[in-house]
Structure 1
Amino acid sequence: MITKQLAGVCGLLLALPLLSHAVSFVAQPNVFTPDVLSEPTANQTLYGELADWPHTFTFYVASTTEVRYTTAIAPDGDPVSLLLVRETERGVSEVARQKGQNVAWVERRDRRLGVSLAQATSVTAILTPGAYKLEISNAENRGRYQLQIGEGSGGGFWRNIRDSFSVHAFYGSWTDAFFTWRVLLLLIGIVLLGGWWHRRTKTKHA
């Protein structure tokens, strides 16, 4: 029975990679390759790792709208700064700026993914129609960060489990995802189902 239960757990976990992420992981191979935000005002969560250069996101807004940005880092990570500029005929004009070293980083637990991060205060801006650039950086341009736009990404039960494993792996310890409530609930459910099936099979052949 235990073998069957373990096989079931492994099967379910192996199936998780087939699900799409609700969160996104940023990969910018060089400073000349920014990410394009196709839905810049939609609720979403991005994860990135600075590697010697800032991360830049470009996007276009068609109508006036309010947007909120919230950055977070590992509790022992290096603070990151946020800069939002609007492109103009003469260059760029600053819309919002947040210097990481001047922010009080408050440790909070992401209940959806079961990961603890130090979060900065949110930055809110009114965007008028036009092209924009959003930059995440720090003094050394090193370290991992989370960028939440609006309320951040959401997801159903299975997608949350997938995201939990991926985000924990991003911060260096994917096995910690086993201790999140969704995974524990899944494991308990499999054990109970296995016990019920074993008793049913045993009674049937008695």
Structure 2
Amino acid sequence: MMLSVFYLAIPLGSGLGYILGSSAKEAAGDWHWALRVSPVLGMTAGTLILFFVPEPKRGHADQLGGRIKHRTSWLCDMKALAKNRSYVFSSLASAAVSFATGAFGMWIPLYLFRAQVVQKTAEACTKDICSSKDSLIFGAITCVTGLLGVVIGAATTRLCRQKTERADPLVCAVSMLGSAIFVCLIFVVAKKSIIGAYVRVV
């Protein structure tokens, strides 16, 4: 349950970032304000953590029934982690998700806006600050689909775990491969239908 809440924060935070950044840019008339808002939210979150999240007792991990036999060097720890395939592939997957999320947030709204210009449903922007609702729509879609994805993924994993112990990685792999297909379809469909492209984003 707690992992579901943790993973929900990734798409939800990203989606809210698109919405807030786009709104701040248009309200101030300067894209720099999209970056000036986030530190305030970060300090607010840090303050809430400071006052409401209890700090664990120091040295508690060293008292786990004597399971920690002896201290090891940093190099030995790195070698052990490098041999842990689950850790390595999970780290690579997390990096890939972060990269893809950032790339989508940067380029998909811009691509869809330019597709509308090509279709002559929107006028080309020649100003420094362009008014576009695509970032807001993309952010809202990211929030909603992120919530649905976590809920559906958790339920599917719970059902599949009755048949196989590898339910978690299998569900993640199938969903990621399936989403890659729809990402490719965005670029194909956007040439003819913006609504169809947003459906593929969902």
Bigger fraction of residues in helix: 2
- TM class, shorter-chain normalised? under 0.3
The higher-RCO structure (CA 8 Å, 6+ apart) is 2
TM-score, with normalisation over the residues of structure 1? Answer: 0.23
Which is strand-richer, 1 or 2? 1
